[in-house]
Amino acid sequence: MSSLESDNRPGPRHVAVIMDGNGRWAQARGHPRTVGHRQGAEAVKGVVRTAGEFGVSYLTLFAFSAENWKRSAREVQDLMGLLRTFVQRELDDLRDNGVCLRVIGDRTPLPEDLQDMLARAEAQTRANRRIAVTLALNYGGRQDIVNAAQQMAQGVADGELGVDEISLQAFGDALSTSSLPDPDLLVRTGGEQRISNFLLWQCAYAEMFFIDKLWPDIGPDDVHAMVETYQHRRRRFGAIIGS
């Protein structure tokens, strides 16, 4: 039993994470940035396991942003290779441990073999219910909103949607995260305090947690601290609680 299970205060159901600091972690140790990315992938495995133990049902990880294509061709190539390796090596464990893997973002620029691997991983883990892990790949929050607006505009143009039917709920249903609840907690590692175009609409009421630790150094104690911090915050959603 985790130390949080006996606490009556609810923990976050959905945690979204900006995994920052892989490159800096490697450079501080005199290694190429790719070494930091590999170590970051190891951290992902531990965080997925620990988050599930603490009752998190949904974990969304910002793995590759739409802006990351601006990095050197070598680093992008290495990141694509790391994704391949991660899916190949971890798929059996994900499937056997109740992890449902999902991907959001524009996959079309990704290598075709990687697209196929991701699709197979999604299909093979779709029935799992212990924790849903979503990888945001080639994802941008603004583009997600634009795509939803275009989809709804097309519906109006085709006569399938009335203007008065455009609502907060309908717009949310048009986003790439329509199958997920909005994040309760947004975490960013690495010391930066911005959300960097990640889940802009979805994080309207998310609690923010910024930690100076670099992503490869994140472990179970840090996940515990994130969840516990959330439990101690008072979520009002615009209402006045107490006197």
Annotated binding site for substrate: 21-25, 33, 37, 65-67, 69, 71, 188, 194-196
| CA gap 62, 198 in Å, rounded | 7
| CA gap 147, 126 in Å, rounded | 24
- The CA-based angle 217-44-87, given to 5 degrees, is 145
Which of 3, 19, 5 is closest to 133 using CA atoms?
Answer: 19
Task: From the candidates 8, 68, 97, 147, give the one annotated as an active-site residue.
Answer: 68
Whether 20 sits among the annotated catalytic residues: the reply is yes
Angle between helices 112-125 and 73-96 (to 10 degrees): 20
| CA gap 12, 217 in Å, rounded | 22
Task: From the candidates 7, 8, 20, 164, give the one annotated as an active-site residue.
Answer: 20
C-beta separation of 193 from 20 below 8 A: no
Residues marked as binding for Mg(2+)?
A: 20, 207
Residues marked as binding?
A: 20-25, 33, 37, 65-67, 69, 71, 188, 194-196, 207
Whether 212 sits among the annotated catalytic residues: the reply is no
Which of 231, 166, 171 is closest to 200 using CA atoms?
Answer: 171
| CA gap 130, 124 in Å, rounded | 14
- The residues annotated as belonging to the active site are 20, 68
